[in-house]
């Protein structure tokens, strides 16, 4: 009986989901080579409907999230003319890259409640287990992360960048900078009406080092002793070569 009720509930939810996201992207694999200087990925799709479009303005939000790791944020103060670390806060979750684009400014297309639940805005993506102890302090340190990564092109939030045509087709371009971290980049697409999410679609973009970059990365992490010796040999050879060139120039 319980299984039967669950099946009916699932069927009802499917029937009520009048709009679905159908999406794709220009590439799902980004290769980082020695001369990689960034790229842009076109994300596009359509809204699939089983019935006429509901009332309310349809909006689209596209968010791309890079790998995350804990970050220690420190605040320096000047004491007796010397800059020293005075405060430090551990941010447990801060994506290495985060870009969110929408058909209109985010506060106009997503409610605060939905943002809190789904963590779409940049501020909601950054989390710390210490936040309950001193909220204002955590917010200041989190804002520092946002400022630094925004200046480096790693955090962007752009309203009006997603183009929606006839309430059905949508597209946008997400710029990936050269200083990407290797890993899987979660891509989420939200459909909203009256600031409420009516459907969500997820996929991933794989960012991988290839060629010489991959070989150096593997050597450094799998054989650190060999990597260290090789680096020392290259440094000695480079120094000797520079000295030899300088002597030749002096003789001439």
**Global confidence as pTM:** 0.75
Tokens of 80: 């007796």
Are 239 and 137 within one domain? Answer: no
Domain count, the chain: 2
Question: Is residue 108, in this structure, part of any structural domain at all?
Answer: yes
Are 202 and 224 within one domain? Answer: no
SS3 59: strand
pLDDT in tens, 122-137: 988 887 765 555 677 7
Cβ-contact 206, 29 below 8 angstroms: yes
- 96: domain range? 20-209
Are 74 and 108 within one domain? Answer: yes
Are 48 and 136 within one domain? Answer: yes
Question: Is residue 42, in this structure, part of any structural domain at all?
Answer: yes
Are 190 and 73 within one domain? Answer: yes
Cβ-contact 241, 216 below 8 angstroms: no
Tally of residues, the chain? 252
Of 19, 45, 193, 44, the C-alpha closest to 108 is: 193
pLDDT in tens, 148-192: 899 988 999 999 999 999 889 999 999 999 888 889 999 999 999
Which residues on adjacent β-strands are paired with residue 78?
83
Are 32 and 81 within one domain? Answer: yes
Question: Is residue 9, in this structure, part of any structural domain at all?
Answer: no
Based on the number of CB atoms within 10 Å of its own CB, is 101 exposed (0-12), middle (13-18) or buried (19 or more)? buried
Are 78 and 168 within one domain? Answer: yes
């Amino acid at each position: 009986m319980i299984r039967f009720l669950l099946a009916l509930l699932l069927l009802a939810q499917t029937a009520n989901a009048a709009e679905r996201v159908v999406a794709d992207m220009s590439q799902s694999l980004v290769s980082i080579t020695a001369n990689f200087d960034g790229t842009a990925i076109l994300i596009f799709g359509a809204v699939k409907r089983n019935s006429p479009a509901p009332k309310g303005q349809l909006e689209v939000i596209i968010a791309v999230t890079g790998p995350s790791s804990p970050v220690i944020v420190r605040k320096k103060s000047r004491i007796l003319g010397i800059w020293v670390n005075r405060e430090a806060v551990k941010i447990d979750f801060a994506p290495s890259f985060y870009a969110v684009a929408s058909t209109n400014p985010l506060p106009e297309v997503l409610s605060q409640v939905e943002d809190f639940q789904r963590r779409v805005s940049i501020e909601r993506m950054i989390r710390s287990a210490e936040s309950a102890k001193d909220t204002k302090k955590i917010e200041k340190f989190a804002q520092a992360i946002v400022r630094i990564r925004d200046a480096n092109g790693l955090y962007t939030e752009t309203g009006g960048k997603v183009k929606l045509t006839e309430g059905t087709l949508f597209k946008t371009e997400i710029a990936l900078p050269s200083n990407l971290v290797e890993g899987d980049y979660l891509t989420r697409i939200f459909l909203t009406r009256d600031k409420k999410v009516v459907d969500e679609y997820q996929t991933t973009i794989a960012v991988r080092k290839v060629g010489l970059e991959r070989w150096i990365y593997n050597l450094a992490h799998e054989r650190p002793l060999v990597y260290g010796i090789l680096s020392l040999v290259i440094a000695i050879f480079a120094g000797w070569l520079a000295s030899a060139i300088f002597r030749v120039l002096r003789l001439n």
